[in-house]
Structure 1
Amino acid sequence: MNRLLVFPLVFLVVLSAFGQKRHLQNALDRAETEGFSGVILLAENGKVLFEKAMGMRNFEEGIPLQPNDVFEMASVSKQFTAMMIMMCKEKGLLDFDDPIEKYIRVPYPNITIRHLLTHTSGLPDYQAIMDEHWDKSKAAGNPEILEYLRRYAPPKLFEPGDNYEYSNTGYVILASIVEEVTDRDFVELSKEWIFDPVGMENTAIRSLEKKAQVPNFAVGYLKDENGNYVNANRFRSSDYTLWLGKRKGPGRVSSTAEDLLKWDQALYTEKLVSNETLEQAFSPFELNDGAKSTYGFGWDLDPNSPYGKMVMHTGDNPGYKTIIVRFIEENKTIILLNNNYHPDQMRLVEAATLALGKW
């Protein structure tokens, strides 16, 4: 290459990187101006490149968010449930292709553990059945959910393996299978097997009472009819978090951005499971017709990522939006936790992805 061209090319690369970072900062400034409340973290090789907290931990009391505040993870929890199943498999307690009736009695034959992990089981939505029939003055857990599935037996959506359809029911059953094969409580075992070994000191599956005892727990907020942010628990649509408050598997993990980065980095090691087992979590499921879904074991897969193999998961609970994005080949990570259900979440993720690609 002509040496006279080297400096202009280097300058253009630096300028492009600066431009993408400036684009991210502009997106964050705009989101903050428009009321976004949350924490964003960007990392490479486990090193934090950028971290920022915006908005309020508690709007009523005017307490600003801090980077290490605790958020409800919602469905980001599913990757931990999937890991518990993978650890059970490596301990010889189960196999991925075992039929679920080997462990749990439900009126749906020919479903395997792998179908549950990949959302290809065809199971109906447990929440609809519980909403119709459950006494909402009481909190239901997995035993009650399974009992109602047996009692009312709503029809399956499709034959196992025919399609992909996201299923919270499947992840309730997965947690129950863990309890069945270990004879241990799923909440305690998750702490013993995952959170403690990884060093996730601020992470747990917490009851409402336990959450209230965490001083830096970020309260979830929604807008009322006047456009003011109020505690999400005041909305009738949020009531299911109370009367389904004991469920295990599909949600209920609460954590911080920095703890999620520890989890992310543990997945580059064999601290929890072997690379061979973990690779199955990041691989698509082949449907009965030969087509491949874009979901592994607790992870969404993006085969068209511009930065190599990418896995991710979102979470959605009253007042909360969460997401973790992992560019596995480059060991780059985006974590975004939001506690006022703001519409800017994905725009911030896109800006962060562009900036991370140029960092």
Structure 2
Amino acid sequence: MDTEGVARRMDHLMAAGHVRALAVGIVADDEGQVSCRGGVDGRAVTARTSFYAASVTKQVIGLLLARAVVAGAADIGDPVRRWLPELPDWVEPVRLRHLVHHTSDLPDVTDPTRSVPTGNAEVIERLQAWTPVQPPEPGVRYAYNNTGYVLLAEVVGRMSGRPVDELAAAELFRPLALRETRLGGPAVRVPGAPDPPGTIGDGGLWTSVTDLTTWLDACNRDRLGERAQRMAETPGGPDAGSGSGYAWGVRVSARPYGALVTHGGSWGGWQAKTVRVPARRIAVAVLSVGAPEQAISDLGTDLAQTLATG
């Protein structure tokens, strides 16, 4: 592992300006490293500093659902209204698989232009009040949709009989000893940046670079269930036509060295990127405040690909 090379990349990004905080975690060949720069909430960033990971949350929801399907608690072809009967009748054609792969054709009522939702209940209320111009046509086209993952978070909670934050803590976070990781709860305040939404599913994940790297490494090692992990890494797409490469909360693309499993997250200055190469047991986590979204995405992907091809 090129420790000096990682440090140079991080220092270059910090020197580019406006980057308040940056943390990178890497695991490759059973060797790990964590590097930190800058500060959050008036304190220097450490391996245990809490960052908002935004849409990286979706892979947590995807794996919870995959575990429920493997356990026989649900079927990916279930109508969403089987689990959320309070949704309006026009949602009836939408199945769980459509939410998972972003092919539901539902309106994205979490869009900040409609005002930031305070919680999952408000997202459901917005759908109840929505009058569609025409009924959704699920399974026809891919369109990234945060509302779908809020609904999935509610679905897995209903399946288990407890709130999704408690479910994730009991089934995923505590077994992996992820001490700084939670869904929801109080926001870490960053001066000049808006608080993240109160929703869970589209976002809601707070974690440290150490915890996030541990999570990625655990996924590479199938520590949370091999069948569920393989399911969660299986892309889906429109019922007709080519797939999008979007699996269960992660994007999966073929590379000469094996599958590249990625997802990013972005909200109000918080940036996150996760990259895995399961065949090589490579995991890279990048968390930041203030860095450009593309720069964080490129940093995570480039580090993983360098390790995979070096």
Fold shared per TM-score above 0.5: yes
Question: SS state of the match for residue 54, structure 1?
Answer: strand
Corresponding residue to 2:119 among 141, 152, 157: 141
Whole-angstrom CA distance in 2 between matches of 1:271 and 1:23: 30
Cα separation, partners in 2 of 1:202 and 1:46, compared to 1, 3 Å: farther
Q: How does 1:32-47 map to 2 (within 5 A)?
A: 32-35=14-17, 36=19, 37-47=21-31
Q: What is the TM-score when the length of structure 1 is the normalising length?
A: 0.77
Is contact 1:75-1:316 (8 Å) kept? yes
Deviation at 1:46, TM superposition (A): 4.3
Cα separation, partners in 2 of 1:264 and 1:89, compared to 1, 3 Å: same
Query: For structure 2, which runs of at least 5 residues remain unmatched after alignment?
Result: none
1:295 matched residue in structure 2: 246
Corresponding residue to 2:65 among 85, 97, 104: 85
Letter in 2 for 1:203: T
Cα separation, partners in 2 of 1:38 and 1:111, compared to 1, 3 Å: same
Deviation at 1:354, TM superposition (A): 4.7
Question: SS state of the match for residue 274, structure 2?
Answer: strand
1:117 matched residue in structure 2: 100
1:251 matched residue in structure 2: 203
1:231 matched residue in structure 2: 192
Corresponding residue to 1:196 among 174, 198, 220: 174
Question: SS state of the match for residue 258, structure 1?
Answer: helix
Letter in 1 for 2:160: T
Deviations 1:112-158 (A, max 9, x none): 11111111111111124x864x7x8xx73222321221122344795
Q: Is 1:127 matched with 2:110?
A: yes
Question: SS state of the match for residue 267, structure 1?
Answer: helix
Question: SS state of the match for residue 188, structure 1?
Answer: helix
- CA RMSD in angstroms, aligned pairs only: 2.5
Deviations 1:157-179 (A, max 9, x none): 95211111111111111111122
1:95 matched residue in structure 2: 75
Whole-angstrom CA distance in 2 between matches of 1:27 and 1:182: 43
Letter in 1 for 2:233: F
2:12 matched residue in structure 1: 30
The higher radius of gyration belongs to 1
Identity %: 24
Cα separation, partners in 2 of 1:339 and 1:317, compared to 1, 3 Å: same
Deviations 1:272-314 (A, max 9, x none): 33x23322221221422231221001111122x3432110110
Deviations 1:49-95 (A, max 9, x none): x421011223xx4x321122111010000111111212222332211
Letter in 1 for 2:280: E
Question: SS state of the match for residue 231, structure 1?
Answer: coil
Is contact 1:161-1:287 (8 Å) kept? yes
2:258 matched residue in structure 1: 308
